[in-house]
Structure 1
Amino acid sequence: MPRTYSDPSTESRLSGPVMGTRWAARYQAPPAFDHAALSSDLARAVGLVDTQMSPWKPDSDLMRLNRAGPGRWVALPEAMLDVLARAQEIGALSGGAFDAAVGGLVNAWGFGAMADTPDPDAIRRAAADHRPAHLWLDVDREQCRARKRAPMTLDLCGIAKGYAVDRMARVMADHGVGHALVSLDGELRACGARIDGRPWAVALESPQEGRRAVHGVIELADLSVATSGDYRRWIGVGGERLAHTMDGRRAGPVRNPVASVTVLSGTCVDADAWATALLVAGPDEGPALARRMGLDALFLFRREGRLVEFGLGRFAFAAEGADA
């Protein structure tokens, strides 16, 4: 068992580039601690996820699976199988609100690596060909392989970053660090609390276009948080603003008044995927799904030019209909 440091110490910070954004770690460890080794292992952990699961790298394992024809088993590494298996589980539990097979739609609408503007012909083809991953993808953990039973392009952007954060947390534990906050873009996980017992304070971003603003503060201890929203990446089509998140069930971008969904969970992979699923599910189905699954979720709805909060579980303090 790795030793957990509990003596008084100063807070240190590490960060590095990955996946078009940055990973970061705040932690508390003794002065003689090997920070360089920790930094190297954290970078390796997130780099492995990028190498295996990036839709932007032609030689990634994800793209290798995407290029395989239907019915062909493809050998895959353990980490990718972990993510695919959890994506399948949450896809089934959410009735397809979370769908790893939206890659074709992402590309057709100009949000992927293939194009940066919508292609009407590609959109029609992607919509006609779409099959939900949880029904048309087989994941064989025992034989370390997966196969598609229909043509599909997988995209793991709604879950892979959360998984990378969980791998960072395991690196922290392996180095004996019991007081840390690790993050990748908007996904975060607290490893324990701060060394003085206080929880880690995390800012909840306000879903405003073109600027970064704080909506509130969340306190974390041995807990993960992830947020999905409509305000980071979007395109304007016919006077309508379309978010980059795809709804596989209607074969197009999310179109609903949910501005953002924040989810708390023990693992960041679950927080990440469920935040995506609830955003896709929308203002009626989303809260019902969160309640059915016992999730801690905070919804921010756009209503008549203002933000309205609705919280469940540990977010239940946010009363339905309260102004944000």
Structure 2
Amino acid sequence: MWSRIIRPVGVVALAAALTGCFNSAEPVSEIYGSTMGSTYSIKWVGSQLSPEPAEVMTSVDALLEEFESVASTWRPTSELSRFNAAPAGTCQAMPQAILDIVLLAEDLHQESGGRFDLTLAPLLRLWGFHGDGVSQNVPNEQQLAEAVALTGHEHLHVRDGQLCKDTALQVDISGIAAGYMVDQVVEHLADMGIKDYMVEITGELKAGGSKPGGRPWRIAVEEPRDDSRVAQVILPLRGYGVSTSGDYRNYFEHEGHRYSHTFDPVTGKPVMHDLAAVTVFHPSAAWADGMSTVLLVMGSQTGWEYAVKHELPALFVIRKGDGFVSRSTPQFIALQESKE
């Protein structure tokens, strides 16, 4: 089991491949599999030099399994689980993948004023969003303070190939791991000579190159609705990773208030504002994965200002009355209007 099971439920605008019609001289191969408590799918344009789908699947499965074996917090023997079980003041040698993710998360944490944090597991567990059978509930202030005291990305450090913690932190990389592995799989495919691809892992996606005929891969960004999924915007995707964070599916209600699984690390509480979902495009799927969470935590106004300032292609879906309204950054509009 993988702690990321709470994440895909909140993805409001899963990017769905619109493959269209292909020239049989340039076959499109597909493989599907399971990973991180969810699924993955890969499409690519084959050639005479491309490996067979079975070979690609075997190597991709091995790559994903290797990552899970060191990074899954649901496997007690993984390096990350052993680090989480260790006391304050621990430094432990870690595989490069985990160090890379922690360093990327540190950049997101610093650039966003603390809105991204890998150490929120005690809060997720306290509120019942950890996926371990604990009932969802609103904690009292003492319980909240005790859980917050066990968090804090500033107490997590990378030193000389080791991961260190000043306090008894528990690290959960599920908020960025899938995007990171999308990037890793893309690199793996390139090493196998595959340049035209669409890779999706647990809802995080990246596409590059072209479909047969030289046309780009396209994705459909969905309009959030509590009971259905409706395609809202269709965009070409050339070398971009895409990620959506949203709160409209994984939540609970208590005394008229709606509590989502997305937390503000500053307050230790679920975000409670009018922003329902954010979709972010970036050349790095890992960065898009983390940034979509950052913008969701920031909210419809602060997040919008941040995205515009940093020239991010992003789509904001905002609650208004009983429905939703969308707001696109200039870079998103440019991507939407780009020629195929």
Same structural fold, with TM-score higher than 0.5 when normalized by the shorter chain = yes
Distance in 2 (alpha carbons) for counterparts of 1:270 and 1:103: 21
Q: What is the identity, as a one-letter code, of the residue corresponding to 1:158? A: G
Residue in 2 that maps onto 1:124:
144
Once residues 33 and 148 of structure 2 are traced to their aligned partners in structure 1, the CA distance between those partners, rounded to angstroms, is: 40
1:139 pairs with 2:158: yes
Encode CA deviations 1:95-127: one digit per residue, 9 max, x unaligned: 111111111111111111444313636942544
Residue identity in the other structure for 2:149: D
Give 1:267's match in structure 2, choosing from 258, 266, 284. 284
Q: Separation in 2 of the partners of 1:137 and 1:153?
A: 10
Contact 1:261/1:278, CA 8 A, preserved across alignment: yes
* Structure 1: 5+ residue stretches without partners: 1-6, 319-324
AA aligned opposite 2:215: R
Q: Residues 40-67 of structure 1: CA distance to partner in whole angstroms, max 9, x if unpaired?
A: 1111222233222223222222222211
SS in 2 for 1:81: helix
- Number of the residue aligned with 2:270: 253
The reply to whether residue 110 of structure 1 matches residue 128 of structure 2 is yes
Structure number with higher relative contact order (C-alpha < 8 Å, ≥ 6 residues apart)? 2
Give the secondary-structure state (helix, strand or coil) at the position aligned to 1:158: helix
TM-superposition CA deviations, 1:206-251 (whole Å, max 9, x none) = 2222433322222101111111111232222223222111211110
Distance 2:69 2:308 in 1: 36
Q: Decide whether aligned partners of structure 1 residues 186 and 218 sit closer, same or farther in structure 2, where only a CA change above 3 A counts.
A: farther
C-alpha spacing 1:126/1:299, structure 2 compared with 1 (3 Å): farther
Q: 1:63 to 1:184 in 2, by over 3 A?
A: same
How many angstroms apart in 2 are the aligned matches of 1:197 and 1:33? 21
Distance 2:46 2:334 in 1: 35
What does 1:1-324 align with in structure 2 at a 5 Å threshold? 8-30=25-47, 33-118=51-136, 120=139, 123-133=143-153, 135-140=154-159, 143-316=160-333
CA deviation map 1:60-104 (0-9, x unaligned): 222222112221101111111111110111111011111111111
Identity score, percent: 30
SS at match of 2:89: coil
Contact in 1 for aligned 2:219/2:237 (Cα 8 Å): yes
* Distance in 2 (alpha carbons) for counterparts of 1:246 and 1:274: 14
SS in 2 for 1:89: helix
Change (3 A) 1:130 1:287: farther
CA distance in 1 between counterparts of 2:311 and 2:40 reads: 29
Residue identity in the other structure for 1:87:
A
TM-aligned CA deviation for residue 204 of structure 1? 1.1
SS of equivalent to 1:23: strand
Q: Could you tell me which amino acid in structure 1 is paired with residue 157 of structure 2?
A: D
Does the 8 Å contact 2:126/2:147 carry over to 1? no
Structure 2 residue matching 1:286: 3-state secondary structure: helix
SS at match of 2:90: coil
| TM-score, normalising length: structure 2 | 0.85
Instruction: State the distance in 2 between where 1:10 and 1:152 align.
Output: 48
Q: Which region of structure 1 is more displaced relative to structure 2, 85-94 or 308-317?
A: 308-317
Q: Which amino acid aligns with 1:124?
A: L
Aligned positions, number: 309
SS in 2 for 1:193: coil
Question: Does structure 1 conserve the Cα–Cα contact (< 8 Å) formed by 2:36 and 2:202?
Answer: no
1:3 is aligned to none
Instruction: After TM superposition, give the deviation of residue 197 of structure 1 in Å.
Output: 1.8
62 and 229 in structure 1: CA distance in 2 versus 1, 3 angstrom threshold: same
Structure-2 change in CA distance of 1:200 and 1:123 (3 Å): farther
CA displacement at 1:317 relative to structure 2: 6.4
Distance 1:183 1:287 in 2: 26
SS at match of 1:279: helix
Matches of 1:43 and 1:288 in 2, distance apart?
A: 40
> Structure 1's 128 and 190: CA in aligned 2 closer, same or farther, altered over 3 A?
closer
Say which is worse superposed, 282-291 or 76-85, in terms of deviation: 282-291
Q: Tell me the distance in 2 between the aligned counterparts of 1:184 and 1:282.
A: 26
